[in-house]
Every structure is written in C-alpha cells, then in structure tokens.
Structure 1
C-alpha cells in the first residue's frame, strides 16, 4: 500500500493517506520505547525522509527549522490560517502540546542540505532578486529579507524560518498565498503586508535568487537578529521592533 502511494504525485498521496496518517499520529505508541521518529513517519510521505524535502517542489524541508516556527505553522493549519485540507485533516484532533513535540523533533534534526539547482533565470532577474533580499525597496516600504530572516538567511531562533534550501515553486506559491489571503499568520501578519507590496516580477526575482543560493553549513538558525525588526510580526513576540512600527 505504502509503495503504491509513494509513486503517486504527492498531492494525491497526501489525500489518499490522510485518514491513515491521522490514525498513525494520534494513536498511542505500540511499544513503550517507540519514539517520536516513528510517530511522525506520516509527515515524511510528503516532506521527504527525515523531513529533508522531496523534488516535488511544493513541499518544503522541515528538518532543522526553528521549533517555534514549525509549531506556529502546525497551529496555523489546524486553526485555518493556512489552507491545505490534507494537512488540516492530519492534525485537527492533535493537542497543541503534541504539535509542539512534533515541531521540536524536526527542529532538532541536524542534516546537511544538498547543493542548489542551477538557476535558469536571466542574470538581470537574479540581480533584482538579490537587491530586494539584501536591501529591500524603501520607496515601496519593502524591507530587506535579511532584516527579519537573518544576515545568512537561515532564520532566527525560536520562530523565524530560513529562506534558503527551498524550491523556487514553493517560494512563489507561498508569497502568492500571502498576497491573496490564502496563507495567514497570527496578527499582525507582517508577511501578508509585505507580499501585497511585491509586484509579480519581484516575486519571481526573489524566489529565483533565493532558490539558487547554497545553504551555509547545516543551515542553523541564528541565535538573534543583529538589529530591530522593521515591522511587528505575530508569532515572534519578544524580538525588538524598530521605533514607530
């Protein structure tokens, strides 16, 4: 059964496995020594072995992401701020405590990243993406990605994700989802505000440049930001914010 499902596109695979996966996640361990790695095997059907991601393009790596970020995303799916029915079905009956245990499990995985694919985007597009990521666009009130996601773009503990090591298709789809309201976060939803200021060509440039960058080291998130965040963002309480924001 599992081998047949692995050969299906992951969107169909996720739908077909939804009930089985929910049972696997929610059921008590069969043995007293069964660990979380066994309990979250359902997650790896789409997110790849150990949460490393797969070539499908729309299912991101979850291994090594900050635990607070992963927990927030699981809660966002469960509470309807993010819309993907198979994910919502998998976790709708799981407690917040268990979701945080799952997040902690994947966050603790220290696995190398593969080299990035060679970008097919024109050099001018990549340069535009680099400029937006590193410097933003002050005239349109678009902050630089590095201001929140860290100078190395590997995220910031405990709740800001890295932007490297993600497929271009996934980055495009998530920025589009924020702009259209299909993806939301705890208020104030700073990413939605930023995404709505990006033109389609900006999104294409940013995603192309980010997807083409190697991940430094194992992609460990930074312990802190070098300065204040440019906007207030829900789910990252405790981080300094620029005055007037």
Structure 2
C-alpha cells in the first residue's frame, strides 16, 4: 500500500505540474522580458559573490556549496527566495540577501539567471561503482525502499520541469547533497506535498553521495 500511495502522489503531481508547464518550457527563454533581464543583470551584483555573475555557483569540497542558477526556471527561483523569506528554507548565507530584494527586483534577477546559458564545468572524479549506484537511484529509484527515481519528477534527463521541479543535471554535487540532508533534518520543507521530504528520509549517506555525484556529471541543457 505504501508503494501505491507514493507512486500515486508522485505521478499526480508530475501530471498536474507538467500539464501546466511543459507547453511553455521550451519557449521560456524567448518569453523573458529583455528589459527585465537587463535590470536583473545589474541587480544580481549582490548575488555574484556566491553564485557568480555567470550563475555558475560554487562548490567547496567538504564545505558549503552554492547552486548554479544559470538556466533555471525563473518562477522556480522566485519561489525559492520567497521560501527563504518565509522560513521554509534555511541558510545563514542566503537569508540576509533574500530580504534585500523586493518583488520587482527578484523578478528581474530571476529573469536574468534564467536567460543565461549553463556554464561548462568539470565534475570531480568519482569511483565508477558510486556513480553506477547514483545513476540507478536517479533513473530507476529503489522501489524496495519506496525511493522514487529523480527523473519521475525532474524530467527524463533530470533537466527540470516547470517551477516546481528544478533541473538537477549539472548541478553542484555538494549543493544537491546539502538539500537532501536539509529535507532529512526538516530544515527545508517547501517541496510539493512533502515528496522530497519523504524520499530524502529513505536515503542513507551513501545514497546521497552517489546520486549527488552522478547528477553532477550529467550535462545541463
């Protein structure tokens, strides 16, 4: 019964979100307001120390990681900053900056980062066995433990779907791991119907390291 419940909740959410967003996903870049993108480039100066002006983010092995923002859905970015303001996401480094931007500035900054191409990067070398385990979790899941594959919500290539499911491919491994741990601890709780919270709690530390590493090796489109 648990299997059926998780499957129905996951598929239900994917259908609801993709039904509204997939049609517009391909044309997202062309729909961005050029004036907003230009304003956002200037306003993003306060974000660049962590996320970089090109939106590539930073990953410090064994330390904090700041996500790649380039190419992510603008509405998703807006929702995440509001989550920091509301307290459903926690980050000591992010909280002060989230409260600096008003809604107009936030829309502009989100438009700017959404307009950027994904910067190329070289993921860290990882044991092939670890990568294979991560690939299985990301694409097939582990139904014996009621772990849904990442691709069931984040898209066939984990490129993201609409404003609810961000692209994971090519994201920094440290950032992915940090977020899975945050859902485990309950310091992040802004996921639809607690889907990520429920899945994260079924992952062990080896699972998190593996799936984070494999997703980081995948190209972001």
- Quickly name the TM-score band, shorter chain normalised: 0.7 to 0.9
CA distance in 2, matches of 1:186, 1:209: 22
Where do 1:18-167 residues align within 5 Å?
A: 35-56=39-60, 58-92=65-99, 94-109=101-116, 111-121=117-127, 123-167=128-172
CA distance in 1, matches of 2:53, 2:100: 24
Q: Does 1:183 align with 2:188?
A: yes
- The number of equivalent residue pairs is 181
Determine which structure has greater relative contact order: mean sequence separation of CA pairs < 8 Å that are 6+ residues apart, divided by chain length: 2
Tell me which residue corresponds to 1:205. Answer: 210
Gaps of 5+ in 2: 1-37
Task: Give secondary structure in 1 for the equivalent of 2:48.
Answer: helix
Report the TM-score, using the length of structure 1 for normalisation: 0.67
Gaps of 5+ in 1: 1-33, 220-245
Task: Check 1:118–1:99 CA distance in 2 against 1; reply closer, same or farther (3 A cut).
Answer: closer
CA distance in 1, matches of 2:192, 2:215: 26
Deviation at 1:54, TM superposition (A): 3.0
CA distance in 1, matches of 2:118, 2:193: 33
Deviation at 1:115, TM superposition (A): 3.9
Root-mean-square deviation over aligned CA pairs: 2.0
Where do 1:209-224 residues align within 5 Å?
A: 209-215=214-220, 219=221
Report the TM-score, using the length of structure 2 for normalisation: 0.74
Find the structure with the greater CA-based Rg.
Answer: 1
Task: Check 1:129–1:147 CA distance in 2 against 1; reply closer, same or farther (3 A cut).
Answer: same
